[in-house]
Amino acid sequence: MAFEITKELLENVAIYIQNGNDNELNKLFKEMHHADIAEVLEDISFEEAVYIIKLLDSETTSDILIELDEAVREKIFEQLTAKEIAEEIDKLDTDDAADIIAELSEERQEAVMAQIEDEEHVKKIEELLSYDENSAGGLMAKELVQVNENWNVLKCVKEMRIQAEEVKHVHSIYVVNDAGQLKGRLSLKDLLVASTRTHISEIYIPKVDFVHVNESAEDVANVMRKYDLEAIPVVDDNDALVGRITIDDIVDVIKEEAEKDYQLAAGISQDVEADDSILDLTKARLPWLILALFGGFISVSILGGFSDAMTTHYQLFFFTPLIAAMAGNVGVQSSAIIVQGLANDSLKGSLWKRLIKEVLQSLINGFVLALILMSIGMLFLKFSFELGITVAISLVTVIIIASIIGTFIPIILDKRGIDPALATGPFITTSNDILGILIYFSIAKLILGF
Amino acid sequence: MAFEITKELLENVAIYIQNGNDNELNKLFKEMHHADIAEVLEDISFEEAVYIIKLLDSETTSDILIELDEAVREKIFEQLTAKEIAEEIDKLDTDDAADIIAELSEERQEAVMAQIEDEEHVKKIEELLSYDENSAGGLMAKELVQVNENWNVLKCVKEMRIQAEEVKHVHSIYVVNDAGQLKGRLSLKDLLVASTRTHISEIYIPKVDFVHVNESAEDVANVMRKYDLEAIPVVDDNDALVGRITIDDIVDVIKEEAEKDYQLAAGISQDVEADDSILDLTKARLPWLILALFGGFISVSILGGFSDAMTTHYQLFFFTPLIAAMAGNVGVQSSAIIVQGLANDSLKGSLWKRLIKEVLQSLINGFVLALILMSIGMLFLKFSFELGITVAISLVTVIIIASIIGTFIPIILDKRGIDPALATGPFITTSNDILGILIYFSIAKLILGF
């Protein structure tokens, strides 16, 4: 059932547009899901995409627009009047509407908002725009079904029918009191089996998960995932029900968070994809490489400072990439484990316990590796014992220190409100490279005395 | 509203168990969500956890058991008889039941299955066990609400009430024909507004997204995410409706996939968490470090092979960590972008186009970095021009080759059915380290002639 864009499809679209065959285009796109149409629009020329957006009815195009890549959507909006954009916004749920409005310039925002006819809709969008986009308020939609605890099932069903008209997916029916405070929920299943004259206060479930409007998107995701929720109501400081968040938005949050962490660990500084332009890709990659280059300069200087060893113990220099690589690898391992623990909110115990654990682990890893190094090095690569023991001791020391740094930098960043994932990748590898080389040559100097 | 395990709570649990105060324990856990109870059980001693599992009713404990860490669950099951496990399984939805059964030894599986009273349940679990756990069949549950297209709304609602009894969340009502083939769906909202005498065939929506039972979990996740689905029906080769997958399972798939990729990129070979035992953590980390160590040996040998340069151009050796680090960083960047593109199924265009793009990008990055290297190196670090140009040319070459390797290794692995994420992390950094150093000294030898 997977949709695939075929060459034939794209050719047909191009021909229909060339011939102004609007009927065929309408027919073609009517059969397609808006997410698929969005994919097609990203694959054809920009002029063709604008032609199709202008052709299709705003019910469909509004759904298409939210699926488009932000960059493409921005370009298309440049071709539309404030009134045309307002028509699209009008058709969207408040959360999607607010997301799109937020992308416009302030000037354009005002112009578009002035053109939206439904004042209620405008007010709701303005409220949503006031929240941080990475908070529950920034994720939630105002569309939800809520009933008063004092109603009976008959009145409730009647009201629900009206409210359900503007809610795409009804997950739960939220129960509020006269002050609008969240009291509980009615499950659809319960409603299906209840008799019409029952009072809501008798059948509602008072236990309901909810989040506060200022809670972070990541925390909301953790709560919804843990309790397997498909929607969660959002309350304000007065416990008043102000919106609800659905799982499809959370799926995107989880995906984006994970991709961001992954990209940071890989040394890519902004959200890029393989098919972005060379310029975008370069902008995302070059800064980290420049950082690594400057790290490289430092290691060049350190090695230069130990150049005396060149004459007496030149073999030491053969091991610098090995020591640097081990330091980098160990650091990335440690920091990745901590970053995931922080993201899943699963780190327990004191910092001291963590320090001891990390050192013990590094000792085990270090001794196994040192043993392999000594035996292979002396048996096959003909190291002198002096050289072997120097490299081995350095290796163990470097592994311990690299793992401590890898563990604590993310924890410190997180405590200071900085994304701990920044600590993984090039940052950790570069600083551990430098430190590893410095430790290695310092130990060598101590043992071999050059 | 976030649940937190307090010291007080754990102390109370310990005291109640010590005193055999089952009433207080029952009261305490009755108020708690099963996911929270699972967290508590993972924080207390194993004997205490078993005590509580044996104490609480199987309705609750079955839900707790599926939330537990696999290792903890396994240990608890060792303390239960086949009959006790069967009672838990009996209470679970078929998908969770099958997941848990699959963890038992074959012998234990048979013993437990023989004890489950509901034969229908056993048959369904057996069917689910026959599918690959990473396929749609492995994810789906047999619990769903389906109605025949030939029924009217009255009969439909009546049947639904019966079926809904055993379905926790009713997302969609699936419509089938007499042969059991999936024909479409009834949305709950449509049902709320329809009159009781309408025929199902008149009101059902024939357009329905579905997946085939053999489709991969990752593909199912992509489909559900793209179309914002909360549940998706699963069909077999004959288009017969055989199950449905809900979004909460997909959220876990997305999360696990992302974490796995992240861990592989960081050089951690199995699913570990910060709070796992030192042994588990070492097992997950050491193999990659050993790989990196052997890579280190190779670079030691390569450098040894160029030891002639020690006397005439010893400064070259100061740059090996810089070159190796750049090769590693560039390789990881390239492979990460490809791995994400493959995961999201968003890689388009031919391999040749990708090659050209990667080379162009590397040329830009390489030239900028080489320029910085030359200017800073000659102005501040007093490199000779000869040395500067040698390192600069090597840098550009290494960056191009590292990015090509980083791009194509994941693509090749993916084509051969191997997880492309394996290519990121230590594997790419180690091989690029080695290659980078080899290229660097080869170019140096060519230019400087030692």
Calculate Rg over the CA atoms of chain A: 30
- Cβ neighbors of A380 (< 8 A, separation 6 or more) are none
**Is residue B336 within 8 Å of B409, Cβ to Cβ?**
no
Reply yes or no on whether the pLDDT at A362 is more than 90. Answer: yes
Reply yes or no on whether the pLDDT at B193 is more than 90. Answer: no
Provide the terminal-to-terminal Cα distance of chain B, rounded to the nearest Å: 71
Reply yes or no on whether the pLDDT at B278 is more than 70. Answer: yes
Q: Amino acid identity of A157? A: V
CA A326/CA B288 separation, integer angstroms: 10
- Mean pLDDT of the region A363-382: 90
DSSP structural state of residue A149 = T
Q: Cβ contact (<8 Å) for A164 and B193?
A: yes
Q: Amino acid identity of B412? A: I
Q: What is the pLDDT of residue B449?
A: 83
Q: Which of A184, A154, A195, A189 is nearest to A171 (CA)?
A: A189
**Is residue B364 within 8 Å of B295, Cβ to Cβ?**
no
Q: What is the pLDDT of residue A26?
A: 92
Q: Cβ contact (<8 Å) for B227 and A251?
A: no
Q: Which of B46, B124, B114 is nearest to B92 (CA)?
A: B124
How is chain A split into domains, by residue range? 7-139, 145-247, 278-448
Q: Which CATH class is domain B278-448?
A: mainly alpha
Give the Cβ contact number of residue A2 at 10 Å.
12
Give the helix/strand (H/E) hosting B249: helix B247-265
Burial B186-197 (b: 16+ CB within 10 A, else e): bbbbebeebeee
DSSP string computed for A85-148: HHHHHHHS-HHHHHHHHHHS-HHHHHHHHHH---HHHHHHHHHHHTS-TTBHHHH-BS--EEEE
pLDDT digits (tens, 9 = 90+) for B286-327: 999 999 999 999 999 999 999 888 888 888 999 999 999 999
| From B288, B293, B301, residue closest to A372, measured CB to CB | B293
| From A157, A325, A338, residue closest to B430, measured CB to CB | A325
A102 touches chain B (CB under 8 A): no
Q: What is the pLDDT of residue B2?
A: 66
Q: Which of B349, B341, B335 is nearest to B410 (CA)?
A: B335
The pLDDT-based confidence of B168 (bands split at 50, 70, 90) is confident
pLDDT digits (tens, 9 = 90+) for A301-351: 999 999 888 888 888 999 999 999 999 999 999 998 898 888 877 777 778
Q: What is the pLDDT of residue A1?
A: 54
Q: Cβ contact (<8 Å) for A1 and B209?
A: yes
Name which of A281, A319, A344, A345 to mutate to probe chain B: the one with the most chain B Cβ atoms within 10 A of its Cβ: A281
More confident residue, A242 or A7: A242
- Cβ neighbors of A248 (< 8 A, separation 6 or more) are B225, B228, B229, B230, B247
Instruction: Give the CA distances from residue B302 to residues A258, A450, B436, in Å, rounded to whole numbers and listed in that order.
Output: 38, 24, 11
Look up the CATH architecture of domain B7-134: Alpha Horseshoe (1.25)
- Cβ neighbors of A354 (< 8 A, separation 6 or more) are A347, A407, A411, B274
Lowest mean pLDDT of A61-70, A73-82, A242-251, B152-161, name the range.
B152-161
DSSP structural state of residue A168 = S
Look up the CATH architecture of domain B145-255: Roll (3.10)
Please list every residue in chain B whose beta carbon sits closer than 8 Å to the beta carbon of residue A227.
33, 35
Q: Is B135 helix (H, G, I), strand (E, B) or coil?
A: strand
CA B354/CA B338 separation, integer angstroms: 10
Reply yes or no on whether the pLDDT at A266 is more than 90. Answer: no
Please list every residue in chain B whose beta carbon sits closer than 8 Å to the beta carbon of residue A162.
none
Instruction: Give the CA distances from residue B98 to residues A305, B89, B122, B132, in Å, rounded to whole numbers and listed in that order.
Output: 63, 9, 9, 12
Please list every residue in chain B whose beta carbon sits closer than 8 Å to the beta carbon of residue A299.
318, 321-322, 325
Cβ burial of A180 (10 Å; 0-12, 13-18, 19+) is middle
Q: What is the pLDDT of residue B115?
A: 93
- Bridge partners (DSSP) of residue A173 are A145, A186
- Bridge partners (DSSP) of residue A152 are A199
Lowest mean pLDDT of A221-225, A256-260, B227-231, B439-443, name the range.
A256-260
Q: What is the pLDDT of residue B83?
A: 92
Closest CA of chain A from B326, distance in Å:
7
Q: Cβ contact (<8 Å) for B251 and A255?
A: no
The pLDDT-based confidence of A220 (bands split at 50, 70, 90) is very high
Q: Any idea which residue has 């102004």 for tokens? A: A20
Give the helix/strand (H/E) hosting A361: helix A351-379
The pLDDT-based confidence of A143 (bands split at 50, 70, 90) is very high
Reply yes or no on whether the pLDDT at A243 is more than 90. Answer: yes
**Would you state the structure tokens that stand for residue B253, as one six-digit string?**
């798939």
Q: Which of B133, B102, B274, B96 is nearest to B214 (CA)?
A: B133
More confident residue, B104 or A351: B104
DSSP structural state of residue A166 = T
Closest CA of chain B from A410, distance in Å:
13
The pLDDT-based confidence of B1 (bands split at 50, 70, 90) is low
Q: Which of residues 103-132 of B touch A (CB under 8 A)?
A: none
Q: Which of A201, A203, A179, A178 is nearest to A189 (CA)?
A: A203
Instruction: Give the CA distances from residue A412 to residues A55, A166, A431, B241, B429, in Å, rounded to whole numbers and listed in that order.
Output: 54, 46, 16, 52, 27
Q: Is A231 helix (H, G, I), strand (E, B) or coil?
A: strand
Q: What is the pLDDT of residue A135?
A: 95
Q: Any idea which residue has 């689905």 for tokens? A: B229
pLDDT digits (tens, 9 = 90+) for A25-57: 999 998 899 999 999 998 898 899 999 999 998
Instruction: Give the CA distances from residue A366 to residues A113, A193, A399, B433, in Å, rounded to whole numbers and listed in that order.
Output: 63, 64, 6, 21
In chain A, what percentage of residues exceed pLDDT 90?
Answer: 56
**Torsion, Cα of B205, A9, B231, A149 (10° steps):** -60
pLDDT digits (tens, 9 = 90+) for A268-306: 876 788 878 888 888 889 999 999 999 999 999 999 999
Q: Cβ contact (<8 Å) for B2 and A349?
A: no
**Is residue B440 within 8 Å of B319, Cβ to Cβ?**
yes
- Mean pLDDT of the region B91-98: 93
Q: Which CATH class is domain A145-247?
A: alpha beta
pTM for the whole structure: 0.81
Lowest mean pLDDT of A322-331, B94-103, B306-315, B395-404, name the range.
B306-315
Do the domains B278-448 and B145-255 match in fold?
no
- Bridge partners (DSSP) of residue B175 are B147, B184
pLDDT digits (tens, 9 = 90+) for A66-125: 999 888 899 999 999 999 999 999 999 999 999 999 999 999 999 999 999 889 999 999
Give the Cβ contact number of residue A355 at 10 Å.
14
Q: Strand B231-235: give its sheet, edge to edge.
A: B211-212, B231-235, B241-246
Is domain A7-139 in CATH 1.25.60.10, yes or no? yes
The pLDDT-based confidence of B270 (bands split at 50, 70, 90) is low
Lowest mean pLDDT of A136-140, B87-91, B351-355, B363-367, name the range.
B351-355
Q: What is the pLDDT of residue B93?
A: 92
Reply yes or no on whether the pLDDT at A166 is more than 80. Answer: no
Q: What is the pLDDT of residue A279?
A: 87
pLDDT digits (tens, 9 = 90+) for A389-447: 999 999 999 999 999 999 999 999 989 988 888 877 788 889 999 999 999 999 999 99
CA A392/CA B360 separation, integer angstroms: 42
Q: Which of A182, A181, A180 is nearest to A172 (CA)?
A: A182
Q: What is the pLDDT of residue B347?
A: 77
Give the largest Cα separation in chain A, rounded: 97
CA B268/CA B287 separation, integer angstroms: 9
Q: What is the pLDDT of residue A163?
A: 86
In chain B, what percentage of residues exceed pLDDT 90?
Answer: 56
Closest CA of chain A from B114, distance in Å:
31
CA B263/CA A262 separation, integer angstroms: 9
Reply yes or no on whether the pLDDT at A158 is more than 70. Answer: yes
Q: Which of A245, A201, A191, A238 is nearest to A220 (CA)?
A: A245
**Is residue A153 within 8 Å of A194, Cβ to Cβ?**
yes
- Mean pLDDT of the region B337-345: 84
